[in-house]
Chain A
Amino acid sequence: KQEVTQIPAALSVPEGENLVLNCSFTDSAIYNLQWFRQDPGKGLTSLLLIQSSQREQTSGRLNASLDKSSGRSTLYIAASQPGDSATYLCAAVGGSQGNLIFGKGTKLSVKP
């Protein structure tokens, strides 16, 4: 059974710092991996999707990498801003139907 883990559960950094959020998964036979952002009391906003055949995806200040052999994905945030404060969730898709297995998230706080 696929399990997804995100460490640390919470992270606090000063504004301007570059940071990396980690996601690990137990079954390397994933179809794709998706990163989301969730603001308090809100829904999930998709940030990046990495297909199993890809190594990384970029969107603005965000870069996500995928290493299936080691069961790891990272989300790199460059030049962090207070507006980046949110909970970041990663989710692995095990098959083509699309069912997501979520980690429990990393709560990021960027201090001005």
Chain B
Amino acid sequence: NAGVTQTPKFQVLKTGQSMTLQCAQDMNHEYMSWYRQDPGMGLRLIHYSVGAGITDQGEVPNGYNVSRSTTEDFPLRLLSAAPSQTSVYFCASSYRGAEQYFGPGTRLTVT
């Protein structure tokens, strides 16, 4: 199993650009989520999904969209990037209520 994979590893965007961060898992997990990690703020939940076709907002959803068309994939879209979205983004997956597995992260810089 590859586990949880994320692409790209690094990305630099200009303010106002849009992009999609990719996340995939091959463990047939129903639950997938996106977190951002910022110095001094820790990890905060952006969006999550409990199954294909079902998504919901976390603590910091503004400026981000998600969709879950398959069990395996859970992309995160930045609609119009802002410097405040400079962060490290992590995707995670699990069976519901069970141990969660994280991807290696995407380091995003918005200038």
A105–B43 Cα gap in the complex (Å)? Answer: 10
Interchain CB contact under 8 A, B48 and A49: no
- In the assembled complex, the CB of A62 is this many whole angstroms from the nearest CB of chain B, namely 14
A20–B96 Cα gap in the complex (Å)? Answer: 29
A51–B57 Cα gap in the complex (Å)? Answer: 25
B: interface residue count bin: 20 to 34
Interchain CB contact under 8 A, A105 and B42: yes
Point out the residues of chain A lying under 8 angstroms from B41, CB to CB.
104
Interface string of B34-61 (1 = CB under 8 A from A): 0100001111110010100000001000
Interchain CB contact under 8 A, B104 and A42: yes
Interchain CB contact under 8 A, A49 and B104: no
Interchain CB contact under 8 A, B99 and A100: no
A49–B94 Cα gap in the complex (Å)? Answer: 12
Considering only CB atoms and an 8 Å cut-off, how many residues of chain A contact the other chain?
Answer: 22
Point out the residues of chain B lying under 8 angstroms from A93, CB to CB.
97
Q: Which among B44, B98, B102 is the interface contact of A49 at CB below 8 angstroms?
A: B98
Q: Is A112 an interface position by the 8 A CB rule? A: no
A46–B98 Cα gap in the complex (Å)? Answer: 11
Interchain CB contact under 8 A, B45 and A99: yes
Interchain CB contact under 8 A, B97 and A102: no
Residue of B nearest to A103 (CB): B42
Q: Is B75 an interface position by the 8 A CB rule? A: no
Q: Which among B42, B96, B105 is the interface contact of A102 at CB below 8 angstroms?
A: B42
Point out the residues of chain A lying under 8 angstroms from B102, CB to CB.
36, 43-46
Q: Is B100 an interface position by the 8 A CB rule? A: yes
Interchain CB contact under 8 A, B90 and A98: no
Interface contacts beyond A46-B102, A49-B99, A97-B31: sample of 15 additional A-B pairs, CB < 8 Å, sorted by A: A32-B97, A43-B90, A43-B102, A46-B99, A96-B96, A97-B97, A98-B50, A98-B94, A100-B35, A100-B45, A102-B43, A104-B40, A104-B41, A104-B42, A105-B42
Give B residues with C-beta under 8 Å from A: 31, 33, 35, 40-45, 48, 50, 58, 90, 92, 94, 96-105
Give A residues with C-beta under 8 Å from B: 31-32, 34, 36, 42-46, 49, 89, 91, 93, 96-100, 102-105
